[in-house]
Amino acid sequence: MDSSQKIPVKGSAILCSLAELPDGSLRVVLDDVERGSESAPWVHRSLFTFKDYPAEALSDLATVPESELASFGFYVLTRLLASNGHST
């Protein structure tokens, strides 16, 4: 399959974002979003989860435990499956 092909996507997604907190630490935020309209293709539904990190902790991802990075991917994938009607 050509990855540039337009294919239909499910109605729910996970938005991953990064916020800088007043103390300089970083917050990784995962929000649930759902398909919206043409003017707003994705609409915020709810906060899924977030985690705060000291800024220096994310300056080199090699310092983040591999198990934590794997858990992050696991949470995103299981949430995508569940929110789109697939059992996990």
What would the pLDDT profile of 55-81 be if each residue is shown by its tens digit? 888 888 888 899 999 999 998 999 999
Q: What is the pLDDT of residue 1?
A: 53
* Rounded CA separation 55/19 (Å): 11
User: What's the predicted TM-score (pTM) here?
Assistant: 0.78
pLDDT mean over 19-32: 95
* Rounded CA separation 79/27 (Å): 19
In this predicted structure, the answer to whether residue 23 has a pLDDT above a threshold of 60 is yes
Residue 82 DSSP class: H
In this predicted structure, the answer to whether residue 86 has a pLDDT above a threshold of 90 is no
Q: What is the pLDDT of residue 60?
A: 87
